[in-house]
Amino acid sequence: MSSEEQRDETEPRPGDGPEAALPDGAVSDDLAERLAEAEREKDQFKRLAQRAQADLVNYRNRVRGEQELLQARAVQRVATRFIEVADQMEKALEPEIAAGVDSQWLSGVEAIYQNLLNVLKTEGFERFDSHGEEFDPRRHDALLSSPSPDHAPNSVIRQLAAGYTRNGEVVRPAQVEIAAPRAAEESGRE
């Protein structure tokens, strides 16, 4: 056999493939099914890719939110320590304690105290006064309870340490003394 005859036998001829044995309509049905399956797979992979992309965006947003929360908590923790220092300075500046202290030294401590309060305020920490308010466990920490004929029961008689908020949220409740319920009210409850 010549090389030309061999080449002719190895080259595909029209009608020699697997589709040659099938009727004309079967070829187009088989191709249509394979095309439809490919389209379904494409749509499935597209939905999968979109879902993965949405999950990634949600993950990034959640991580960003968690980082912001951790940062806010760290700032709050440090600020709470400075608030304690401000409380101590406020106590040191009370007239009973500051009596007899050098006036220049006292004015220097007052300036430092005011500067500390301004720094806290700049960082969003607002001091609030509770004297005369009704006791609210979300805003107040009752350290003492005393009978008081001049005050309504459960009202703040005296503030022992100021409370602080940041962005409307209580960072540290005010430490207060509240008026105890009157004896007649207590016996009426029983």
Which pLDDT value is given to residue 8? 53
Residue range 101-116: average pLDDT? 91
Which pLDDT value is given to residue 14? 52
Superfamily of domain 124-190: Head domain of nucleotide exchange factor GrpE (2.30.22.10)
The mean pLDDT of the chain is 85
Residue range 108-124: average pLDDT? 93
**Is it the case that residue 134 has pLDDT exceeding 70?**
yes
Chain centroid to CA 148: how far? Answer: 41
User: In the structure, what pLDDT confidence band is assigned to residue 37 with cuts at 50, 70 and 90?
Assistant: very high
Residue range 39-48: average pLDDT? 95
Residue range 54-60: average pLDDT? 95
**Is it the case that residue 162 has pLDDT exceeding 80?**
yes
**Is it the case that residue 114 has pLDDT exceeding 90?**
yes
Residue range 121-131: average pLDDT? 92
In this prediction the pTM is 0.63
**Is it the case that residue 146 has pLDDT exceeding 80?**
yes
Which pLDDT value is given to residue 95? 87
Which pLDDT value is given to residue 190? 47
Which pLDDT value is given to residue 13? 53
